[in-house]
Amino acid sequence: MGASSTPYAPASARGADRTGDGVEFRLLGPVGVWMDGDLLGPAVPKQRSVLAVLLLHLRQVVPVDGFVQAIWGETPPPQARNALSGYISRLRRVLAGIPGVELTTSRPGYRLDADPMRVDLYRFRHLVRTARGHDVAQAGDLLRQALSLWRGPALADVAGEPLPRGAGATLEEERLAALEDRIAADLRAGRHREALTELPALMDAHPLRERPAALMMTALRQDGRRSAALEVFRDARRRLVEELGIEPGDDLQLLHRRILRGEPVNLTASQEAGERLPVPAEVPAGVASFVGRAAEVRLLRDALTGDPAETGAPWVCQISGIGGVGKSTLGVHVARAVAGSFPDGQLYANLHGATPDVEPTRPVDALGRFLRSLGLATSAVPGQVEEAAARFRSLTEGRRMLIVLDNVRDAAQVRPLLPGSPSCAVLITSRRMLASLDDTVRVSLDVLSAAEGLALLNRAVGAARIAAEPDAAAELVRLCGGLPLALRLVSARLAARPTMTVAAMARRLATARRRLDELQADDRAVRAGFQGSYQDLRADPTGVAAARVFRLLGLLDGPDVEVAVAAALAGASEERTRALLEQLVDAQLVENHAPDRYRLHDLLRLFARERAEEEDSPRERADAVERALHCYLATARTALGLSNQTRAWRTGIGPQELSHPGIALRPADELHAWVDAEEDNLLAAVAQALGTPAAELAVALAASHRATGRLDDAADLHLRALEINREIGDLWGRRRA
């Protein structure tokens, strides 16, 4: 029976799970890399710890501090980081030459990329998940295959205590749950005698675990030994009362009552008998430094706690916004605030819709989790999404429950998870606005105001410390763009460094190229939050062109951009560019703050520029900026002509042939409206660019300022034109400027 009499797989079961090229990574027992049954390494316990951490976070960046904590715990030696670098170097030699396996340095740590099916842990989990969708005979076989992958205690030979005590204990819990599921499948298939041979050892090893006792009681009852089954309950209850001071759980007590009454028993009796169902309370803890959002909190609370009689469908609320703006924080805050209005429980799931390098949770998997939280046995959870959704609607019908769906990818991921009963309510957080969901209360979350940002710093860092440097604190809020995640990260760094001044942290953030590097703490980073949205966009074939527009937008310093300029930047038609910009708006990478005008958050602009420098050549970037500059310059020339100002002497400063015809302006109103709307962008373009187009643009804008009496501004622009021509060595341009 595979793992029937011993907790781990026998030697004869090993080797049946080879990957195609004979290479496999093991965590469920001794840690290492094997090829065709031979250990390739690592040979040193701390190197095995490094490999274990990378495999546990496969395809994710693990910060250096994460390795240090996992290997040395709370008191690492002074040379820990240098030692880690050496372990990584030696591990790279072990992995060298293995196809499809890559260990890379990726700020702020390291990342291992490989096929998850090469790793015994992920094959184990895959088999366990697959078993849920099959009949009892097939489920039992699949679970036996899964358990055969265990070759001893997980993470058996790594260094130190943190990994075995933390991740190792969690993995052992997964093994026990799978073993119990396999025994339950055997009982449903009528193999109670086999179960009776292995359950005593399992109960001895885990005397305070209730499910083995329930399985033993069921097996004895099926074997006709009613008194022995009742004795198992008495022993289990005595141990729980003596050692933990608690009574057995509802399921075990219900099973006991059914055996006393002589009724048939099964492993989902509590659900079928219609007795009290579990009351889940799964919403995570809130954030102590939560500030602001008063209007949003009031709107969501009122909607979620509305009278169920007012609607024939569940109340659904959605919070959307850019990465790091605090959607999940607000969602959790509101969910905990209204929990008392949902006495039948609160379900929560992070669906990983925008988590970098993590596959979004499949609806069927989220449903499986919810159904188990509602008391359904793992083996009874349907494997097909339609059946699982129907069972979920049945179990929530008439119950007053709140379902929190955090980090949602799209509407398709959400629909199967919606209950049918109007007594329920749903709270969704997503970077995308899920417009196709009907009858939804929508909250589009913006960044914090300056006052709210300072209030967050006060709570997270300490009011006295912030009050001592008010100007520096205000500068921190500005440099973080009011983004809550950025503010929490700098707060965490300040809190961890009591001797660092607020001004010193502000100086670190002042350099644009370093700002995203500084905005990280432990395993959280602003860059990673943005990366999730960007990867999600690029994963869609229709999003590749939009991703390019996003990168190019980051090259401009102006506060916003209109469609015509964005089209020039991208070298595309206005119609096509408008569609791509709207796609970026849907992805919460760009904001459409006014008709045909779009802007990026300051930190998103830095991220977009990073992506452009990484993915686009210097020539492509320079050409894009030049096209935008030519669009501004061509339009400025048109504006000068419409204003009846002589311009013959000015057009000699810039190029005679422009790559873009500019915007077609008409006299008077459109001319003045364009100058007013674009002034900050024109000034930014003049300040950002070099070359004769920028010089002429400065002179053209100066002419507009002179016409409206702004002589000081006009003089400053002429000086900028003079500076540009001096820098590029254009003597004739200097004279004209």
Which of the four CATH numbers 3.40.30.10, 1.10.10.10, 1.10.1740.10, 3.20.20.150 does domain 11-147 have?
Answer: 1.10.10.10
CA angle 621, 625, 629 (to 5 degrees): 165
Nearest to 309 by CA among 392, 419, 421: 421
Distance in angstroms (rounded) separating the CA atoms of residues 551 and 533: 13
Do residues 708 and 643 lie in contact, with contact meaning Cβ atoms separated by under 8 Å?
no
Quote the pLDDT of residue 420.
Answer: 81
Q: Which two tokens stand for residue 686?
A: 């003049």
Quote the pLDDT of residue 427.
Answer: 96
User: What are the backbone angles phi and psi of residue 316, rounded to the nearest 5°?
Assistant: -125, 125
Nearest to 378 by CA among 388, 387, 368: 368
Q: Which residues of the chain have pLDDT under 50?
A: 1-6, 9-20, 268-276, 646-653
Beta bridge partners of 230: none
Handedness of CA 203, 208, 211, 213 (dihedral sign): positive
Do residues 380 and 404 lie in contact, with contact meaning Cβ atoms separated by under 8 Å?
no
Distance in angstroms (rounded) separating the CA atoms of residues 493 and 65: 13
**What does pTM read for this prediction?**
0.55
- Please check whether the domain covering 190-272 is classified as CATH 1.25.40.10: yes
DSSP 8-state symbol, 500: S
Distance in angstroms (rounded) separating the CA atoms of residues 164 and 147: 19
Distance in angstroms (rounded) separating the CA atoms of residues 514 and 493: 15
Q: Where are the domains of the chain?
A: 11-147, 190-272, 294-361+379-444, 450-522, 528-616, 623-736
Q: How far is CA 609 from CA 136, 540, 631, in A?
A: 55, 21, 21
Quote the pLDDT of residue 10.
Answer: 40
**Count of Cβ atoms closer than 10 Å to residue 652 Cβ:** 13
Q: How far is CA 710 from the centre of its chain?
A: 49
Distance in angstroms (rounded) separating the CA atoms of residues 495 and 480: 17
Quote the pLDDT of residue 73.
Answer: 80
DSSP 8-state symbol, 449: P
Do residues 683 and 712 lie in contact, with contact meaning Cβ atoms separated by under 8 Å?
no
Distance in angstroms (rounded) separating the CA atoms of residues 120 and 543: 34
Beta bridge partners of 281: 346
Tokens 């370093």 correspond to: 514
Question: Which residues, 6+ apart, have CB-to-CB distance to 722 below 8 Å?
Answer: 734, 737
Check if 11-147 and 528-616 are the same fold. Answer: yes
Nearest to 402 by CA among 352, 467, 335: 335
Distance in angstroms (rounded) separating the CA atoms of residues 596 and 324: 25
Topology (CATH level 3) of domain 294-361+379-444 = Rossmann fold (3.40.50)
Tokens 């990260």 correspond to: 489
Do residues 335 and 401 lie in contact, with contact meaning Cβ atoms separated by under 8 Å?
no
Which of the four CATH numbers 3.40.47.10, 3.40.50.1000, 1.10.10.10, 3.40.1000.10 does domain 528-616 have?
Answer: 1.10.10.10
Quote the pLDDT of residue 147.
Answer: 93
| Crossing angle (nearest 10°) for helices 563-570 and 544-553 | 110
Handedness of CA 152, 158, 164, 165 (dihedral sign): positive
Question: Which residues, 6+ apart, have CB-to-CB distance to 176 below 8 Å?
Answer: 206, 209
